[in-house]
Chain A
Amino acid sequence: MIAAMALPPPDPEFVLRGTAAPVHTLHFSCRGQEPEFPILFSGSANGLVQIWNLKTHRVDKTMDGHGGKSVYWVETIHGRDGLLSQGRDQKICLWDLAEGRNVVTDSISVDSVGFCRCSLLKVAQDRWLIAMPANDPDEVQVLELPSKTSVCTLKPEAGAKLGMPMCLKLWQPGFGACPFLMAGYEDGSVILWNLSMGKMLSRLACHQEPVMSLDFDSEKAKGVSGSSEKVLSVWSLDEQQNLKVHKTHELINSGISDVTIRQDRKILATAGWDYHIRIFGWKKVKPLAVLDYHTATVHCVAFSDHSRPSERLLAAGSNDQRISIWSLYNQT
């Protein structure tokens, strides 16, 4: 009886306040063993990267490395001992966080002035690939870390008129296999690049407006992308490496700034310009919840990587300078 009635949407588990600026990016690191506590990295518009202790809900550390320019991508490297942060000062900083340090040990300069977030993929022990916008406006560059040698530069053929890359996602079909890159462009198309050949495999024009964010599920060969329109587009990759639109979902309000599939590939979260976080079932893109807490555009959503499913969290950062933490669909 109770199950038949739609429950009211849940409230946030807790809210992190104190970034003092719009939150642009979030990244969890919760896999650590017992003495270590789950943490959340946040990057905000005032150039600070903060480390939140999710036990105490307080800021553990504040790190300033981008000269006051907005930080819009953070990602851990070496477990939680290293951190990459990308800022509007056209720099990607590598932080050393081991043993309580917090110093920038290295940095890569990015020539692009766009908003495109980088993408990191671990290809071997202590070897990573990072995809980032290159100095030509429509190019994407892939570097190998930590050596910072260029692997390839992905340049669309002349006359493709793609515009700038807006979002990137590196993936590989299996560990050790040849990596691919999914890139969303300013003209609304999503392109699959083969990194070893440096060549475009498939192009799908799935939006009318710039693709703001995408995520790809390599197991099901299915991805999702959001743009500034009212549509969430789900596409799939067939055996011939062709991208095809699988389904589109019409939203009430336009604008999706971030879309993320949970690691277990069961649900998907979007950050909306309409202040709402939306949750969908990933199989059928069935709308599951509309979370209404923020009072300004939501910029980013991130799922935690807790090893125990019941502890999994969802975090959303918004222009209203708050980070809301939610616990949803955790029963297995």
Chain B
Amino acid sequence: MNKALGTGMKNTQWFLPSTPSFPCSWDRSCQCNSSSCLKVPIFCLVKIVDILEQFLREGGLSALMWEVCQQQAQAASPELQETLLNKVVCLPDHLSNKLQGENLPIFLPQNYFPLLGTEIIQVLQRISDSLRGGLDCSISFVSQVLGKVCVHGRRKEILSTLVPCLTDLTKSDCIWQRMCWRLVECVPDRWMEAVVCGFVQTAPGADVLSRLLGNLVVKNKKAQFVVTQKLLLLQYSCPTAMLQNLLGYLALDNSRRFLLLKVLQELMETWASSSAVKHSPVEQQLYISKAILICLSHLKDVEIDSHRQELFTCMMEGMKCHLDSNLPRIRCLGMIVAESISSRINTDGPILKFQYEEDDETRELKSLLTQMLSPPSVISPLDEGRKDSPSAVTEAELKPGRKPLAAACAVSEEGSDSELDSDDDFIPYDMSADKELKKTKAPLYIRDCIEVLTGPEDMDKWEATMRVLETLIQRNTAATQEVSVELAKVLLHLEEKTYIDDFVELRQKALVTVTITDPIPVAQYLTSQFYSMNYSLRQRMDILDVLALAAQELSRPKAPGKNKPSSIQTPCIQILPGSDSSKDWRKIVDERIKSKTRRFAKGQSQVELVCAPNKFSSVAGHFFFPLIQNFDRPLVTFDLLGDDHFVLGRLAHTLAILLYFAVNTVVAAAMGKALLEFVWALRFHTDSYVRQGLLSCISSTLLSVPSDRLLEDVTEELVETQAWLAACLALLADLSNDDNPGPWLPTFTKGLQASRCSREGSRWRLQEAGLAESAANGEPEKET
């Protein structure tokens, strides 16, 4: 490096013979470069470009900056500095403007700015030399260069060379460290953000960042704002590593830790604010959750002690509004963050524990809490390379030695295996019946089941009953009908007394089967219970699920032979191999005939569809109308239009499903009319899940109600709905970057498409075409 520096010095002298005259001559040449070029003949231009290239190649930039730095110490003219700054930073732009296609590679930004980075290092080297020599030197011009380059959007190029060098140089040298801090501090405020962001992004670890920036955040207000507010709360695009750098940097020095606490406080406030949870995008909430978890991982126990109460309050607040959300991802985020906070603040007491499904995101979030500061010395790329290569070599050397041995083992094992295989080819029988032995016997009658389920606690018997209930109900239809409502009541109130792995499913299946066996009384009971007091939301949603599933079962045509396979599974008669062979014979003959027969029809022969009356048609009203009746009458414990909007959303979906299964029934038209009124009443609901439900209601109305009935009976409602949807679409088009338009459009267009398909050729098509057109207009807007 010293050598390079030496040549650079010499070159400077060569290029600028006398220091005092240099600024003027440079100024002139610049002017010639930028403004008077038009008049310059082509050979002149080429020559100037040549000279410039040589200037860059021979380290002219560092000489130039060093010159300015020296002058600055003796106070030079600001205009000159300004011009110089402009020229140095904008040189690639000027040249590419001028030279167009014939630009030289060295002037391309991707080459120029890394070069500038190394030149800056050289200047810094000289400054450090002169500082060691006791001479005063100003670094602010270099800072300005750096700032301006960063703000011009070239921070990646320049910092990718600058940061690794600085990381190395500051490792053990305190003068370099101070210079580096000064370099960043001297960046003018208007460029500070770009520089700080660049450093946070490029630094390989929090400790490096801390070494490079020093206590910048404490000294510089702008930097503090960027670090504590802008990067954390006002945007959410940084990758996790950058967040870790940033917060780790705050945590590393005691003089900065108060900022960490402040940041955590602000993050927690945002996290706990219900309006933020409702209105900000999921990605931002994920970002904030990550930041909170990283902060928590950095906090010391003492700090937690002093802020326990605040953290606790925020946690309760935030947990509530997260769990209120209809989006599973947000609920999950809330659960993870709350769990993490509680595990940190309750060192000895009970901690929160939620049940959620583990996926990559939850695992990543949890890992953030556990991983502490990044390892103390982040290895510089150079070191890394050095370290990697020998290990790679040794591994490669070791491998061949190990491999044959392992292979030999495998071979010998295989050999012995194949030898054994020869007479071990018995075909195993089905062993699915091999279950854990249950000591108790399941009851055989429905009434016994009710007794067991309500009676004293005998867990084994209870479990056996749960498992057998569905089949018992199916088998004894008549017996079930006698006690159907009672059984439904018992099942609805049933709680999981002991752990059964599929309790929820078993209970639901049993309830659905009861509903199918005796639809009218059970549906009446369930729908009435939906609107009565003293039920949990879970039970109310269970009711909805059961009604929907039962409707599906009832409307599905039952194949007469459907139950046969299950009876085959418990064989009574062993088929002898002899009879099998006769079957094979039949099959072979059939195959032969088939192969010699020519068929003229194309395509596969269609499977015969089983025809059966829709059993749901006669009972659909009992399912539907009691449910839609009372939604606007709040109870003390149940307020559909208020807090319990999640159930309202489920209700809307369930009604849509019920109507869908009531297709081709007489009552469908009345149901459709009621449903459109329901939609109309709720169309401005604030919750997206509810609105989504309304859209499926509309789709299902369009699908299930015959078109002539639609036009005759519910024309007004339809026109209103159409107007509403059109208005919504227009709104969507306006707010194309609205935060949460997601669920709207697909449902709507799908519904439209479906209805269009189902009603080919009806008069309704004209109006629909209008709707579809507006949908088509809306869609691209949303895409952008």
Contact = CB atoms under 8 A, between A and B. Distances in A.
A253 B437 contact: yes
Interface stretch (A151-159, A200-208, A278-286): A278-286
Interface string B431-453: 11111110000000000000000
A6 B433 contact: no
Given A7-B429, A10-B429, A11-B571, A283 B424 contact: yes
Contact of B420 (A278, A283, A329): A283
A266 interface: yes
B427 interface: yes
Given A11-B574, A253-B437, A6 B424 contact: no
Contacts of B432: 6
A278 B420 CA distance: 21
A9 B424 contact: no
B423 interface: yes
Interface string B408-427: 00000000000011011011
Contacts of A282: 424
B571 A6 contact: no
A221 interface: no
Given A10-B574, A252-B434, A252-B435, A288 B420 contact: no
Interface residues of A, number: 27
Most chain A beta-carbon contacts within 10 A, residue among B423, B432, B569, B580: B423
A284 B420 contact: yes
B424 A276 contact: no
A73 B574 CA distance: 33
B178 to A, nearest CB: 67
B734 to A, nearest CB: 60
A290 B431 contact: yes
A100 interface: no
Contact of A8 (B421, B424, B430, B437): B430
A278 B431 CA distance: 10
B428 interface: yes
B431 A9 contact: yes
A123 interface: no
Interface string B558-576: 0000000000011110100
B424 A286 contact: yes
Nearest to A281: B424
Contact of B427 (A7, A10, A267): A7
Contacts of A275: 437
Nearest to A290: B434
Contacts of B574: 10-11
Interface in A6-21: 6-11
Contacts of B569: 8
A274 B437 contact: yes
A286 B580 CA distance: 26
A77 to B, nearest CB: 32
Nearest to A278: B434
Given A283-B420, A283-B423, A276 B434 contact: yes
B580 A290 contact: no
Contacts, number: 64
Nearest to B577: A331
B433 A290 contact: yes
A281 B571 contact: no
Interface string A141-180: 0000000000000000000000000000000000000000
A263 B2 CA distance: 90
Contacts of A110: none
Nearest to B570: A8
Contact of A281 (B426, B435, B437): B426
A288 B430 contact: no
Contacts of A278: 434
A284 B424 contact: yes
A2 B583 CA distance: 11
B433 A292 contact: yes
B433 A266 contact: no
A124 interface: no
Interface residues of B, number: 22
A267 B424 CA distance: 9
B430 A253 contact: no
Contacts of A10: 429, 574
Contacts of A198: none
A137 interface: no
Nearest to A267: B426
Contacts of B430: 6-9
A283 B431 CA distance: 19
A82 interface: no
Interface in B457-500: none
A237 interface: no
B420 A6 contact: no
A114 B379 CA distance: 72
Contacts of A329: 426
Nearest to A291: B429
Interface string A289-332: 11010000000000000000000000000000000000001000
Interface in A72-88: none
A249 to B, nearest CB: 13
Nearest to B420: A283
Interface in B536-589: 569-572, 574, 580
A289 B436 contact: no
B428 A8 contact: no
Interface in A225-272: 252-253, 266-267
Nearest to B580: A2
Contacts of B428: 6, 286-289
Nearest to A332: B423
B431 A289 contact: yes
A198 B657 CA distance: 81
Contact of B433 (A2, A9, A267): A9
B581 to A, nearest CB: 11
B413 to A, nearest CB: 12
Contacts of A283: 420-421, 423-424
Contacts of A284: 420, 424
B583 to A, nearest CB: 9
A309 to B, nearest CB: 13
Nearest to B571: A8
A292 B571 CA distance: 12
A281 B432 CA distance: 18
A108 B380 CA distance: 87
Nearest to B424: A283
Contacts of A11: 571-572, 574
Contacts of A266: 423-424, 426
A6 B429 contact: yes
Nearest to A1: B587
**Interface core residue of B435, B437, B570, B580 (most chain A CB under 10 Å):** B437
Contacts of A289: 428-429, 431
Contacts of B434: 252, 276, 278, 290
A75 B572 CA distance: 35
Contacts of B436: 252-253
A96 B47 CA distance: 128
A330 B420 CA distance: 19
Contacts of A3: 427
A11 B576 CA distance: 12
A185 B434 CA distance: 29
A281 B421 CA distance: 10
B736 to A, nearest CB: 55
Contacts of B437: 253, 274-275
A266 B427 CA distance: 13
Nearest to B435: A252
15 contacts: A6-B428, A6-B432, A8-B571, A9-B431, A9-B433, A10-B574, A252-B435, A253-B437, A266-B423, A281-B426, A283-B424, A286-B426, A287-B428, A288-B429, A329-B426
Q: Closest 3 interchain pairs by CB? A: A6-B430, A289-B429, A283-B424
Given A286-B428, A292-B433, 20 more contacts: A2-B580, A3-B427, A6-B431, A7-B427, A7-B429, A8-B570, A9-B430, A9-B431, A253-B436, A275-B437, A278-B434, A281-B426, A283-B420, A284-B420, A286-B426, A288-B426, A288-B429, A290-B431, A290-B433, A290-B434
